[in-house]
Homo-oligomer: A and B are copies of this chain.
Amino acid sequence: MIIDVHGHYTTAPAEQQRFRVDQLAALDDPTLPPPAQPKISDDEIRESIELNQLRILRERGGDLMLFSPKASGMEHHVSDQATATEWARASNDLVHRVTELFPDAFAPVAQLPQTPDGELSPVIDELRRCVDELGFVGCNLNPDPSAGYWTTPPMTDEYWYPLYEAMVELEVPAMIHVSTSCNPNFHTLGAHYLNADTSVFMQLVLADLFVKFPTLTFVIPHGGGAVPYHWGRYRGLAERLGRPDPAELLRNVFFDTCVYHQPGIDLLARVIPVANILFASEMIGAVRGIDPETGFNYDDTKRYVEAAAHLGAADRAAIYEGNARRVYPRLDAALKAKGR
């Protein structure tokens, strides 16, 4: 079984974005009526999935994708909590409908109604609603709700603890995933995403978060940003700073395979233990085209995993399935309940 842990609903029907546009307009101009809830039929959802993520998943031999709202669309920098909460609910409800229509192919992962330095109780409420009522198996957690200005405390700060307590209780991991960048220095897809991955890993090196929360689990996407490429730097820095070896973090931290060329996946597989690598593609995401050098899609990461010299059959099985079932216990339980 091949599980892709990193997919977003980037192909949602336009009506969903119409709702968001109206919502932001009403926020700007309180004389406008509140936005009408998005009206999307099951057929519209089916079409948006069958022609896109489901088609590609099947073409590439995948079985299941963890599916969350579009990451760049979370827009946590819009600081009004009611707006953030309503937008997260609408986004999660739509993703939930996808997973109800295609229960064998998609499992839901939540957008959280974060705001810059905002209260975490609405965030926790939405996480609980998604997990307890809708069967979500994970969440995306944004380390920079300010969208490129990084005004929120590091992820090791006590500010985040109430959310971590809920995650631990609910047994759901978080994928560390920023949303759009409003800072012109950081292109959302070409800088901000990777910088966030890199920055959060170093925050974890510096603190004892997993001593406090031994069962808290983070997935760092996009192959861990710059981290595996600079693994020697992190080992050396940790030693110089009197911190444990970064390998100690690998009880709680996992990297996905969203690295879009063979040398990158080869490095990941060489440097990071197999038990800490989760198969993922992020299709249909940042990089959608066909690589003229290979004739295949850049984001067809299964080809790179298949070709990685450092991996044997058992390694691939762990990367494709076993690790994901361990990291996402609610996914594992749901699959087992269906005899999968």
Quick check: B234 and A190 within 8 Å, CB to CB? yes
Bound Cα distance A148, B205 (Å): 19
Note all chain B residues with C-beta closer than 8 A to A231. Answer: 261, 263-264
Quick check: B289 and A240 within 8 Å, CB to CB? yes
Number of interface residues, chain A, beta carbon within 8 A: 56
Residue A202 CB within 8 A of the other chain: yes
Quick check: B260 and A232 within 8 Å, CB to CB? yes
Note all chain B residues with C-beta closer than 8 A to A199. Answer: 185-187, 191, 195
The interface bits of chain A over 255-294 (1 if a CB of B lies within 8 angstroms of the residue's CB, else 0) are: 0000111011011001100000000000000111101000
From known contacts A226-B225, A233-B298, infer whether A239 and B184 are also in contact, taking CB-CB under 8 Å: no
Quick check: B150 and A289 within 8 Å, CB to CB? no
Quick check: A230 and B194 within 8 Å, CB to CB? yes
Note all chain B residues with C-beta closer than 8 A to A185. Answer: 143-144, 150, 152-154, 199, 203
Quick check: B206 and A233 within 8 Å, CB to CB? no
Note all chain B residues with C-beta closer than 8 A to A264. Answer: 229-232, 267
Quick check: B184 and A286 within 8 Å, CB to CB? no
Residue A228 CB within 8 A of the other chain: yes
Q: Which of A223, A233, A286 has the most CB of B within 10 A?
A: A233
Quick check: B206 and A198 within 8 Å, CB to CB? no
Residue A236 CB within 8 A of the other chain: yes
Bound Cα distance A189, B240 (Å): 11
Note all chain B residues with C-beta closer than 8 A to A194. Answer: 198, 226, 230
Note all chain B residues with C-beta closer than 8 A to A223. Answer: 229-230
Residue A222 CB within 8 A of the other chain: yes
Residue in contact with A226 in the complex, picked from B198, B206, B235, CB distance below 8 Å? B198
Quick check: B287 and A189 within 8 Å, CB to CB? no
Residue A45 CB within 8 A of the other chain: no
Residue A149 CB within 8 A of the other chain: yes
Residue A183 CB within 8 A of the other chain: yes
Bound Cα distance A13, B133 (Å): 64
User: Which residues in window 159-189 of A have CB below 8 A to B?
Assistant: 183-187, 189
Residue A26 CB within 8 A of the other chain: no
- Taking CB as reference atom, which chain B residue is nearest A156? B184
- Taking CB as reference atom, which chain B residue is nearest A183? B150
Note all chain B residues with C-beta closer than 8 A to A261. Answer: 231-233, 235, 271
Note all chain B residues with C-beta closer than 8 A to A154. Answer: 184-185
Residue in contact with A239 in the complex, picked from B195, B225, B289, CB distance below 8 Å? B289
Please give the distance in Å from A282's CB to the nearest CB on chain B. 10
Quick check: B233 and A259 within 8 Å, CB to CB? yes
**Can you report 11 residue pairs joining A to B where beta carbons are below 8 Å apart?**
A186-B199, A223-B229, A229-B259, A229-B264, A232-B261, A232-B291, A233-B260, A235-B291, A236-B260, A263-B270, A264-B267
The 5 closest A-B pairs by CB, nearest first: A232-B261, A236-B287, A232-B260, A226-B226, A190-B202
Binding site for B on A (CB under 8 A): 143-144, 148-150, 152-154, 183-187, 189-191, 194-195, 198-199, 202-203, 205-206, 222-223, 225-226, 228-237, 239-240, 259-261, 263-264, 266-267, 270-271, 286-289, 291, 298-299
